[in-house]
Amino acid sequence: MKKYSAFSLLKNALSYHENWQKVWRSPTPKKEYDVIVVGGGGHGLATAYYLAKVHGITNIAVIEKGYLGGGNTARNTTIIRSNYLWDEAAQLYDLSLKLWEGLSQELNYNVMFSQRGVLNLGHNLQDMRDIERRVNANRLNGIDGEVVSPQRIKEIAPLINISRDSRYPILGASWQPRGGTARHDAVAWGYARGADALGVDLIQQTEVTGIRRKDGAVVGVETSNGFIGARKVACVTAGNSGVVAAMAGLRLPVESRPLQALVSEPVKPCLDTVVMSNAVHGYISQSDKGDLVIGAGVDSYNGYGQRGSFHVVEHTIQAICELFPAFSRVRMNRQWGGVVDTCPDACPIISKTSVQGLYFNCGWGTGGFKATPGSGYVFADTVANDRPHPLAAAFNLDRFNSGALIDEHGAAGVAH
């Protein structure tokens, strides 16, 4: 892999960019792999990368039915934070955040991780109690964060409306300065390039259609391009996890729902942080290109259509106009949807299954982009060693039977 740098850019410019190397190969699949990762989203690619990098397993294929990073990785509002309530979640997301902090250098690919801070707004007294609780828990877990006043919020995001006369006035917020955003595509591409360089085969436009088992253990996958053998199969297929699980005769405690987002036309820099509000249902940041990136609440019904209902978008824009009355004259440029895998406790599943050699990493729902590095890291470890990584242990499938859920619903700011 040729290293990227300002110097390489200059050098290539002089030769009219005619000599750039391919970011990844387009290999023909081998007959058999040690590990097949199903799903070439951010999490799947990160899993493959860390399997190769940390565990030295390089006979790996990532099988993606569409194009790399084209699922929710391509569709999310890119919010990154680690201020989760429960210890288990907080530790997992903070591992992720720490990995984000060095990811561009690790991958030699600028994922544009921008630590511009995240505000989670509170609009009523219970919101504020929840925020206090969460921020205190974060602090004692070693995660940065503070509870800030409306005046401080206004300093951070000058266009925000902190009037007491609003329908749901802003009473305060949690503020995590280390949070922020990253360039979603770059994350997938950076991991893909890194994995490819370590020998991982990235196989696109190939759909896994079956999981072949023998004597209770997995032996490979059927694909739209034929059978490929594997000793271990690691499924990281987000919204399609239920479908893939069914291929192995399993059911999961996940439901796939539409989640929508939209962007405005690009405007000059006017919002230098990430603002999220669960109570009025909307969240917003501004991309480096200038568009306002806005996310909605999840649609109520199951759906695999990568689109949702207009009234959800209306509701979200109303919330944004409440928070930022000045944005009322800005215009929506594009809207789209993703299919998110929602879990009853709003926490992921990182788990072995009853089938030997078959692993699932899913259930990230509306908020897994921020976890991409950490998720890949602990999942790779789990797959490589056939036992849960300590930070993944709490996220096993068995919790739905025992009742040991990690209920992040209780905590304000759970979404995204």
Ligand X SMILES: Cc1cc2nc3c(=O)[nH]c(=O)nc-3n(C[C@H](O)[C@H](O)[C@H](O)COP(=O)(O)O)c2cc1C
Ligand Y SMILES: Cc1cc2nc3c(=O)[nH]c(=O)nc-3n(C[C@H](O)[C@H](O)[C@H](O)COP(=O)(O)OP(=O)(O)OC[C@H]3O[C@@H](n4cnc5c(N)ncnc54)[C@H](O)[C@@H]3O)c2cc1C
- Exposed / middle / buried, residue 359 (Cβ in 10 Å: 0-12, 13-18, 19+): buried
The length of the chain in residues reads: 416
Q: Partners of 227 in the beta sheet?
A: 222
Residues 366 and 340 sit within 8 Å (Cβ to Cβ): yes
x-or-dash string of contact with ligand Y, 327-346, rule CB under 6 A? -----------x-x------
Pairing mode of beta strands 60-63, 201-203: parallel
Decide whether 289 or 329 has the Cβ nearer to ligand X: 289
Q: Which of 24, 73, 122, 275 binds ligand Y (CB under 6 A)?
A: 73
Binding-site partner at residue 41 among other proteins, ligand X, ligand Y, none, CB < 5 to 8 Å by type: ligand Y
Contact call for residue 370 and ligand Y (CB under 6 A): yes
Decide whether 12 or 287 has the Cβ nearer to ligand X: 287
CB of 316 to ligand X, least distance (A): 15
User: How would you label 329-340 residue by residue, b for 16+ Cβ within 10 Å and e otherwise?
Assistant: ebeeeebebbbb
Q: Which residue is nearest to ligand X (CB)?
A: 336
Tokens of 133: 């609780």
Tokens of 108: 């030699």
Decide whether 55 or 133 has the Cβ nearer to other proteins: 133
Q: Which residues contribute to the site for ligand X (CB under 6 A)?
A: 74-78, 184, 263, 287, 289, 291, 293, 306, 333-334, 336
Spatial distance between the Cα atoms of 47 and 315, rounded to a whole number of angstroms: 36
Q: Which residues inside 99-158 make contact with other proteins, applying CB under 8 A?
A: 102, 104-105, 108-115, 123-126, 128-137, 139-142, 146-147
Tokens of 283: 């969240």
Residues 71 and 264 sit within 8 Å (Cβ to Cβ): no
Q: Which residues inside 226-245 make contact with ligand Y, applying CB under 6 A?
A: 236-238, 240, 244
Contact call for residue 297 and ligand Y (CB under 6 A): no
Spatial distance between the Cα atoms of 240 and 235, rounded to a whole number of angstroms: 10
Contact call for residue 393 and other proteins (CB under 8 A): no
Contact call for residue 385 and other proteins (CB under 8 A): no
**Phi then psi for 285, rounded to 5 degrees?**
-150, 175
Contact call for residue 183 and ligand Y (CB under 6 A): no
Tokens of 248: 């192995």
- Exposed / middle / buried, residue 224 (Cβ in 10 Å: 0-12, 13-18, 19+): exposed
Tokens 């987000």 -> residue? 238
Contact call for residue 186 and ligand Y (CB under 6 A): no
Distances (CA, A) of 240 to 71, 235, 247: 10, 10, 11
Q: Does residue 58 sit in helix, strand or coil?
A: coil
Rg of the chain, C-alpha, whole Å: 21
CB of 208 to ligand X, least distance (A): 21
Contact call for residue 225 and other proteins (CB under 8 A): no
Distance of CA 47 to the CA centre of its chain: 13
Binding-site partner at residue 213 among other proteins, ligand Y, ligand X, none, CB < 5 to 8 Å by type: none
Region near other proteins per CB under 8 A, out of 36-44, 207-215, 229-237, 404-412: 404-412
Tokens of 414: 């759970």
Region near ligand Y per CB under 6 A, out of 13-21, 60-68, 105-113, 225-233: 60-68
Distances (CA, A) of 158 to 71, 163, 269: 34, 13, 12
Contact call for residue 364 and ligand Y (CB under 6 A): yes
Decide whether 29 or 282 has the Cβ nearer to ligand X: 282
Contact call for residue 191 and ligand Y (CB under 6 A): no
Spatial distance between the Cα atoms of 398 and 352, rounded to a whole number of angstroms: 10
Binding-site partner at residue 56 among other proteins, ligand Y, ligand X, none, CB < 5 to 8 Å by type: none
Decide whether 160 or 293 has the Cβ nearer to ligand X: 293
Region near ligand Y per CB under 6 A, out of 51-59, 61-69, 104-112, 113-121: 61-69
Q: Which residues inside 237-266 make contact with other proteins, applying CB under 8 A?
A: 240, 242-243, 246, 251-256, 264-266
- Centre a 10 Å sphere on the Cβ of residue 90 and count the other Cβ atoms it contains: 22
CB of 41 to ligand X, least distance (A): 12
CB of 181 to ligand X, least distance (A): 8
The residues of the shown chain that bind ligand Y, judged by CB under 6 A, are: 38-44, 63-66, 70-73, 75-79, 207-208, 236-238, 240, 244, 259-261, 295, 338, 340, 364, 366-370, 416
